[in-house]
Amino acid sequence: MRQRRRRGHHREPRLARAHAQAPHFPAHRVLLARSRAGQRRFLPAQGRVAGIRRHAHRGDRRARQARRARSRAAQARAGELPAGGARRRQRRRHRRSRSPGAGSRLSRCRRHQCLAARRGAAVTATRIYISAGEPSADAHAAAVATALRQRLPGVELEALGGPLLERAGVRVLDRMESYSVVGFVEALEKIPAHFRLLNRIKKSFADKRYDLVILVDYPGYHLRAAAAAAAAGIPVLYYIAPQMWAWGPKRVKKLAPVQQLAVILPFEEQFFRERGVPATFVGHPLKDRPPPPARADARRALGLDPERPTLGLFPGSRRQEVKRHWRIVREAAALVTAQRPDVQIVVAGTAHADYPDPGGITVHLGDPLLVFAAADAGICKSGTTTLEAAVADMPMVITYRVHPISWFIAGRVVRVQWAGLVNLVAGYEVAPEFLQARARPDVLAAGVLPLLDARNPATRRQREGLQIVRDRLGAPGAAQRVAELAAGLIR
């Protein structure tokens, strides 16, 4: 039962005064397992109950001290051991007296189980970082966040974003309003703020805080953020691809850190795949919006006369865009009403911009869907607004103005024929474009006046082109498809 080595080294556990060579060492009711025929032994021949201690020389010293002790003293110490039954009763009383408070300890096995459970809970909590640096991206990112929560219950979402992401239950660490900008010259004053943000997010990436990074549009900052995430070993999903087909096919190599590109325009998938970027067309998120109300109902909701023709103004969603376009579209609307006094004017406004001297123009600060539904025709800034008009089947003229230096630079880097997305998707000029120097009130008024008449040939031709655009934007469910791609990237 006890294979002693170095003599005094092995003692009975929990009995401080038990001597290794005590002649009356108790061993009552000890159960020994015995191997059956055909089975190997439980312990090798040299096995022992306890191994050699870490400091073997200390055991030798104790053994020598034990050998020097008199035989009578050893017997006396052995006689001090209580009887087996009394010793068991003492142990039971000791266990009952221990309270399960702070002083009590779990067994080693139980402690390991608790620690493993804690580690497992920490590992299973997936954390995703979403970055949306402008209002339209905030709306698209909010839809993706909602789809992620449905597909990955318990996922933790943190973001650079705005009110719509907050409303979707995402923890917004940085507000997009401090960084949103359009144009080359206009972006210069935002460079220091962007670099401070990038340095903070690099540290979070290096600390392995996130399992996935989802970047939505906003390429100037997000291409750098993608490189930082890839350097930290975090997979990157880029939703709404940079428009490199417009301003530089050679720049596609900057998307090398991106593991999956989710594109929303039908011609983008082939463009990026031909250049080595894994791209998937997920459909356009505008197709997920609820259908617009009837024209008369929309006009009533806006406080307009449901029987009068209506012109909609769409100067943009960013403060800088509104500042550059408001005066032009307001004066163009005045020219329209001078020739058609029965026309009523409504503008799709935003709470983040000012609309001075509106006169008789109704400024609507809510959902722009009502303005699209109420208008017979519109003056739209280029970009996603033109696709919104296409989905609402609203004929339009397209305009845009930027800083002169930004326009000069754009003229040397842009490689597409049109600025309006409706024209790019259709492949021909569905809606007339009046950009920069041509963006004058008189030109805009002359272009939109025929479109207020539903029977005008120009209106009919444009509506045919808008139907082509709607068909090419894909089926609803873009956010769900993006969430599916995201789930496939999480390790």
233-244: per-residue pLDDT in tens?
999 999 999 988
Mean pLDDT of the chain: 80
28 or 316, which is more confident: 316
pLDDT tens digits, 286-328: 999 888 899 999 999 999 999 999 999 999 888 888 999 999 9
Average pLDDT over residues 105-110: 53
pLDDT of 192 over the 80 cut: no
**Side-chain half-sphere exposure of 138, counting CA atoms within 13 A:** 21
* Paired sense of beta strands 127-132 and 156-161, if any: parallel
Question: Which of 33-47, 344-358, 448-462 is the least confident region?
Answer: 33-47
Assign 71 a pLDDT band (cuts: 50, 70, 90). Answer: very low
Q: What distances in angstroms separate CA 115 from CA 104, 108, 208, 378, one per listed residue? A: 17, 11, 21, 63
DSSP assignment, residue 58? H
- Give the pLDDT confidence score for residue 345 in this predicted structure: 97
Q: Does the domain spanning 123-283+476-489 belong to CATH 3.40.605.10?
A: no
- Give the pLDDT confidence score for residue 36 in this predicted structure: 54
236 or 112, which is more confident: 236
Token pair listed for 390: 């296409």
- Give the pLDDT confidence score for residue 384 in this predicted structure: 87
Residue environment code for 457-467, b if the CB has 16+ CB neighbours within 10 A, otherwise e? eebeebbebbe
CATH assignment, 295-472: 3.40.50.2000
pLDDT of 450 over the 80 cut: yes
For the chain, give percent helix, strand, coil, nearest 5. 50, 10, 40
Say if CB 258 and CB 235 are below 8 A apart.
no
Question: Which of 80-84, 227-231, 428-432, 450-454 is the least confident region?
Answer: 80-84
Burial of residue 220, with CB atoms counted within 10 A of its CB: 0-12 exposed, 13-18 middle, 19 or more buried: middle
The rounded distance, in Å, linking the Cα atoms of 162 and 154 is 22
Q: What distances in angstroms separate CA 288 from CA 139, 274, 479, one per listed residue? A: 12, 28, 8
The partner residues of 280 in beta bridges, in order of sequence, read: 262
The rounded distance, in Å, linking the Cα atoms of 310 and 453 is 11
Neighbours of 263 (CB within 10 A): 23
- Give the pLDDT confidence score for residue 247 in this predicted structure: 76
Domain parsing of the chain, residue ranges = 123-283+476-489, 295-472
- Give the pLDDT confidence score for residue 51 in this predicted structure: 44
Average pLDDT over residues 200-229: 93
Name every residue whose Cβ is closer than 8 Å to that of residue 267 and which is 6 or more positions away in sequence. 245, 424, 425
Q: Do domains 123-283+476-489 and 295-472 have the same CATH topology?
A: yes
Taking the model in full, what pTM does it have?
Answer: 0.67
pLDDT of 56 over the 60 cut: no
284 or 112, which is more confident: 284
Assign 435 a pLDDT band (cuts: 50, 70, 90). Answer: very high
Assign 144 a pLDDT band (cuts: 50, 70, 90). Answer: very high
Say if CB 391 and CB 287 are below 8 A apart.
yes
Residue type, 478: A
Give first-to-last CA distance, the chain, whole Å.
52
- Give the pLDDT confidence score for residue 220 in this predicted structure: 82
- Give the pLDDT confidence score for residue 75 in this predicted structure: 47
The rounded distance, in Å, linking the Cα atoms of 230 and 215 is 13
